[in-house]
A and B are shown apart, each in its own frame.
Chain A
Amino acid sequence: MGNLYALSGAFLQQWRNVRRTASYANFIIAGIPNVIILAWIANKSDNPVAITYIAVGASLMLVWTNAVFRMGWALSDERWGGLLDVSLVSRTPVIVTMLGKSLALCIFSLLTGAGAFILILIVSEHAIPIVDLPLAIVSLAITLFVMICAGFIFCPITVLVGEPSGLFATVMPFGVACSGFLYPIGILPAALQVIARGLPTSWAMESVIMATTGSGSTWEIVIRWVIALALAVVYLFITQLLFRLVERRVRVTAALTTF
C-alpha cells in the first residue's frame, strides 16, 4: 500500500512537472519534421498496409522517442536535483518512484502520438479501416505497456554508463528502426532482425498491424501478445537488477548529488 502511495505521488509530481516543462516543446518540434515526411510518403503510397504502418507507427515512434529520452534521464535528474539521497533514505524502493515518474512521462507522450496520428491521416488523405477493433485496442494497449518496460530499462543504464551526453541519439532511432513501428520486421537486414526479435515492441507492433489489417488470426495475435509480455517481464526483471546495482554503486561511491 505504501509503495502504491509513493507510486501515485511520483506520478503526480512528474505529471505536474512535465506540463510545466518548456523543453517539452523540443520533442514536438523534433517530431514534426519526421511526421511530415512520413505523411508525405504515406500520401504517395498506394500500399494500404504501408499506410497503416505509417499512421500507427509514426504515433508510436513519437511516444517512444519522447518517453525513452525522458525516462532515460529521469534517474539522473533525481541525482542532479539532489533528490536521490532522499529516495534512498525512504523505505520505498527507487524503482517504484521512478516507475511512477516514467508512467507520467509515457502518458504525457501519448498526446504527441495522438497528434501525429491525426496529422498523418489528414495529409495522407487515407482512412485506416480497422478489421477487428477490440483486438486492435488490446494490441495497442499492450504495445504501450511493453514500450514503457523497454524504455524503463534505460533509466538505470544511463546512470551506470556514466550519463554520456548524446546517448539517446542512438537509442531513439535504434528503437524505432528495430521495433517495426513503420515496416514489417521481415524487411530489416538479417542482423537487425535478430536484434528486433529480442524487443517486446516488435512483437506487440505486429499484433497491432494484424488486428488492424486482418492479416493474422486471433491465435497468431494472441501468441504475439504473450511473447511481447514475456519479454517485457524479462526487461522489468533486468531493470530491477540494474536499479539495485545503481543503489549499491551510489552508496559505495557516495555519488548521490554530485558528479
Chain B
Amino acid sequence: MRNFLRQAYYNYRGLFIWLPWPSYITTVVFGPAFTIIMFALVGRFALGPDVVRPYVLGLVAQYIPFIISASILQCFVLERRFAILSIVYSSRGNREVIFFSRQLFHIPNGFVVVAAGLFFSWLLLDLDFNQVNWIALVLTVLVISLSSCACAAFLGNFFIVFTDWILMYRTFAGVIIVLTGVIIPISSLPAPLAVFSQVLPLTHGLVAFRSTFDGAGVAAILPSLLQELIVGLGYTVLGLVGYHVSEIIAKRRGLVETAA
C-alpha cells in the first residue's frame, strides 16, 4: 500500500503539469466557470430560462471527465516524453499497482471542479440549492470521478500511438459533451449514437447528478450509479489489458524512450 501511495503521489506531482497553482486555478476553477456561464446564457437567450438549470448541472458534471481525462492523459504521455517509462518498464513492480496509482490523486480534482462550477453557478446564475440531497450528490461525484478515471486510464494506453495528449483529450472531451446528454438530450441523438452514449462515462451519472438537485436520495439514484460503475468497471478491465499490451508493443517496437 505504501508503494502504491508513493507511486501515485510522485506520478501526480511530477507529471500533472497543471498542478502549479496558476495553472490549476485557470484550468480547474475559472475556465469551467466561464464555459458554464457561456452555454447557460446562450440557452437562456435562445430557448428560454427553463433550460438554464439542466444546462448548468450538465456542464458542471461534464467537467469531471474533462479535468480527470486531461490530467491522467498528460501523465501517461509525459511519462514517455520525459523518458521515465523505461524505468517503469525495467522495474519488477506490479503492473496493476502502477496502473491504478496513475489515477488515485486525480479523483479529488473531480470534487474541486464540481465545487468551483457550482459556486460560480450560484454566484452568477442564481442556481438554487434548496432541494439538493448533498450525500447523494457527493456519492454521485465520486462515482462519476471513478468511471472517468477508468476511462481516462484506458485511453492513456494509446500513448504509444498518439503522442499528442491534447489531441486525445480534445477528441474525448468533444465526444463527452455532445453524446452524454449534457445539452443535447440522448433521445435527440441518432439511434447508433444513443446506443454508444450508454457506454460513455457520465451518461448514467449525469442522470443521478441532476436528480440529486431535485432532492432524490441515494436509493433513488442507485440504479444510475450502478450503471455508471459498470461502465467504469468495463473501462478498468479494458485499461488493464491495454496497459499490458501497450508495454509489450512499446518494448518490441522500441517506443519506450522515443521523444514524443
Q: Are B178 and A192 in contact (CB under 8 A)?
A: no
Could you mark each residue 183-212 of chain A with 1 if its beta carbon is under 8 Å from any beta carbon of chain B, else 0?
110011101100000000000000000000
Q: Are B170 and A30 in contact (CB under 8 A)?
A: yes
Report the separation of the CA atoms of residues A71 and B196 in the bound assembly, to the nearest whole angstrom. 37
Option from B25, B45, B164 in Cβ contact (under 8 Å) with A184: B45
Q: Are A182 and B42 in contact (CB under 8 A)?
A: yes
Count residues of chain B with CB under 8 A from any CB of chain A. 38
Known A-B contacts A165-B18, A173-B34, A174-B30; the reply to A188 vs B23 at CB < 8 A is no
Q: Which of B26-49 contact A (CB under 8 A)?
A: 26-27, 30-31, 34-35, 37-39, 41-47
Say yes or no for B171: interface residue by CB 8 A criterion.
yes
Q: Which of B1-43 contact A (CB under 8 A)?
A: 17-18, 20, 22-27, 30-31, 34-35, 37-39, 41-43
Q: Min CB distance, B64 to chain A, in Å?
A: 16
Say yes or no for B240: interface residue by CB 8 A criterion.
no
Q: Which secondary structure dominates chain A's binding surface?
A: helix
Say yes or no for B166: interface residue by CB 8 A criterion.
yes
Q: Are A23 and B164 in contact (CB under 8 A)?
A: yes
Q: Are B35 and A173 in contact (CB under 8 A)?
A: yes
Q: Which residues of B contact A189 (CB under 8 A)?
A: 37, 124-125
Q: Which secondary structure dominates chain B's binding surface?
A: helix
Option from B20, B34, B125, B170 in Cβ contact (under 8 Å) with A170: B34
Option from B26, B35, B41 in Cβ contact (under 8 Å) with A188: B41
Say yes or no for A229: interface residue by CB 8 A criterion.
no
Q: Are B45 and A29 in contact (CB under 8 A)?
A: no
Task: Closest B residue to A33 by CB, please name it.
Answer: B174
Say yes or no for B219: interface residue by CB 8 A criterion.
no
